[in-house]
């Protein structure tokens, strides 16, 4: 599998295997004029390869958003890989899914997820959730005196 074109500076990374959701993410961040700072991977292996290619922690994304239901490596498995790795464990990770039980959500937070969000069913609600992710990234950047 080939990696997507990598922008100069990535602040937000998604792992989402659903092509319709990928397109909606792209369209939403294009509306936010932030599309040049996001990456979308189809699977966790591509994410781990990408993170491993980054030689400096200051190049790590400010947020990773994982779909929970992914082929091969689930969002939960990817979360655990990230949080067990000394180099990556400080990267905030949000899980989003169409279905998450309260018990599963609680477990994911214990494993180190920053948040667990249900995938919205309307475009307006989806765009609102994406705006919340963008706000999180902007606040993280501001802590490092970077204005996005």
Distance CA 18, CA 23 (A): 9
Residue 28 pLDDT level (bands cut at 50, 70, 90): very high
Q: Nearest-CA neighbor of 119 among 25, 12, 11, 4?
A: 25
Q: Nearest-CA neighbor of 91 among 72, 73, 117, 66?
A: 66
Residues 34-71: tens digit of each pLDDT: 999 999 999 999 999 999 999 888 899 999 999 999 98
Q: Which has the higher per-residue pLDDT, 5 or 9?
A: 9
Number of CB atoms found within 10 A of residue 147's CB: 6
Domain assignments of the chain as residue spans, ordered by start: 12-141
Q: Is the pTM of this model over 0.85?
A: yes
Q: Which CATH architecture has domain 12-141?
A: 3-Layer(aba) Sandwich (3.40)
The predicted pLDDT at position 5 comes to 55
Q: Nearest-CA neighbor of 131 among 62, 29, 37, 61?
A: 29
Element (DSSP H or E) covering residue 116? strand 115-118
E strand spans, the chain: 12-15, 38-41, 63-67, 93-97, 115-118
Distance CA 17, CA 70 (A): 6
Residues 100-111: tens digit of each pLDDT: 899 999 999 999
């Amino acid at each position: 599998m080939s990696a997507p074109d990598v922008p100069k500076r990535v602040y937000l990374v998604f792992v989402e295997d659903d092509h319709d959701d990928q397109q909606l993410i792209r369209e939403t961040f294009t509306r936010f004029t932030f599309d040049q700072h996001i990456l979308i991977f189809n699977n966790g292996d591509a994410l781990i390869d990408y993170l491993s290619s980054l030689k400096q922690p200051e190049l790590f994304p400010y947020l990773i958003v994982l779909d929970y239901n992914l082929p091969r490596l689930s969002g939960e498995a990817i979360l655990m890989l990230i949080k067990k790795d000394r180099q990556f464990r400080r990267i905030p990770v949000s899980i989003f899914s169409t279905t998450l039980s309260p018990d599963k959500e609680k477990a994911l937070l214990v494993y180190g997820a920053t948040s667990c969000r249900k995938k919205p069913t309307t475009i307006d609600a989806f765009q609102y959730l994406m705006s919340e992710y963008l706000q999180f990234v902007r606040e993280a950047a501001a802590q490092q005196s970077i204005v996005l």
